[in-house]
Amino acid sequence: MRAFALAALLATAAAPAPSGFDMVVLGARGGIEDGNLSSYLIRPQGDPRGVTCDAGTLVQGLRVAEAKGAFKDVRVSAGEELSRVGYVLKHDIKGYLISHPHLDHLSGLIIASPDDAAKPIYALPSVNAEIARSYFRPGPWSNFTDRGAEPRLGKYHVVDLKPGTPTPLAGTTMTVTPFPLAHGGMESTAFLLEHDRDAMLCFGDTGPDAVEHADKLQRVWSAVAGRVRAKQLKAIVIEVSFANDRPDDKLFGHLTPRHLLGELHKLEALAGKGSLKDLPIIIGHIKYALSGTQPQAQILSELGAGNDMGVRFHIAEQGQRWRF
């Protein structure tokens, strides 16, 4: 018995620490489907402490994920009165990365704020300024942050991120580096999350550079090309809001399959032919269509038709858990 215990201990000691990321999709769609809006809980594998990339849907996303078994390994401390949903919200989510101030990217955070725990909100200065101006302010809701109009409740510590500069995410072992994006006249953000040598990208809404008359995506690709070549970039979470039949003058700062493929080809050109092979690309923010015909299958098929890079396209679904 003792020998067995020792062998088990040695096996544990010899096992390499898990690498890569663990992601739970809390919200997968773009507006208008309330209850399933952009939000991804991202953590290093084997470590429950993480942040969300956007927070369009929060508690409802945790509930769906819990029902699908995504949190079955969460151990709620003895004596703790919280459910697993409550425990993950208050103890494991250590902060929020907000890509831009559109409501479908932070409505879940606003609604959960009265019962949430104190934690930071990380965003570019323009995004934090708009959140203070439009949402967390006295009036129909309260200012739960430490920024903006009085009275300030101070539950959320607002942190301004600096473009291209890594910032440690308090309470986690990750850092985040933000890159500004062009989103139909509004500044949005791509977040590069890093842990040890591993990295992943989570994009807020973005238009294609050609349509936005910008070089924002090109700058992101330049910044990560070396990590792609070194196989350190583990995944990309990015939006495709519409299928290819959407005309460029009706994109309103969003991507279609054709435009995403064009952008990924630019990354491949920088990182080297074949360098994107097997890279998981998780597609979010598909707009719910009131016509009744949802475009998911069409979008996946259009992405597949132009995929000569060998990337792995997946449509994000609420409650899914990914490890990459």
The residues binding Zn ion (CB under 5 A) are 30, 102, 104, 205
Q: How far is the CB of 214 from Zn ion (least distance, A)?
A: 15
**Residue 252 CB, nearest approach to Zn ion (Å):** 8
Q: Least distance in Å: CB of 241 to Zn ion?
A: 8
103 vs 149, beta carbon nearer Zn ion: 103
**Shortest Cβ 169–Zn ion spacing (Å):** 23
Give the Cα separation of 169 and 92 in Å (integer).
Answer: 13
Nearer to Zn ion, 99 or 275 (CB): 99
Q: Please, which residue, 284 or 319, has the CB nearer to Zn ion?
A: 284
Residue with smaller CB distance to Zn ion, 127 or 176: 127
* Residue whose CB is less far from Zn ion, 121 or 271: 121
DSSP character for 37? B
User: Quick one: which H or E segment has residue 149?
Assistant: none
Q: How far is the CB of 16 from Zn ion (least distance, A)?
A: 38
- CB nearer Zn ion, residue 104 or residue 263: 104
**Burial letters 89-105, b for 16+ CB under 10 A, else e:** bbbbbbbbbbbbbbebb
Q: How far is the CB of 19 from Zn ion (least distance, A)?
A: 31
Q: What is the DSSP letter of 181?
A: E
Provide the 3-class DSSP secondary structure of residue 66. Answer: helix
Nearer residue to Zn ion within complex by CB, 252 or 324 = 252
Residues ≥6 apart with Cβ < 8 Å to 275 = 228, 229, 268
Q: Within 13 A of 222's CA, how many CA atoms are on the CB side? A: 7
Backbone phi and psi for residue 147, each to the nearest 5 degrees, phi listed first: -130, 150
Give the separation between CA 223 and CA 225, rounded to whole angstroms: 6
Structure token digits, residue 55: 């927070």
Ramachandran area for residue 186 (φ above 0: left; ψ -120 to 50: alpha; else beta): beta
Q: Please state, in angstroms and rounded to a whole number, the distance separating the CA atoms of residues 200 and 195.
A: 9
Report in angstroms how near the CB of residue 299 gets to Zn ion at its nearest: 16
Structure tokens at 295: 């475009």
CA gyration radius for the chain? Answer: 20
**Among residues 55 and 235, whose Cβ is nearest to Zn ion?**
55
Burial class, 306, CB count within 10 angstroms (exposed 0-12 / middle 13-18 / buried 19+): middle
How many angstroms separate the CA atoms of 314 and 134, rounded? 34
How near is the Cβ of 184 to Zn ion at its closest, in Å?
A: 8
Nearer to Zn ion among residue 42 and residue 240 (C-beta): 240
The residue among 136, 81, 89, 142 whose CA lies nearest residue 115 is: 89
In whole angstroms, the minimum distance from the beta carbon of 100 to Zn ion comes to: 6
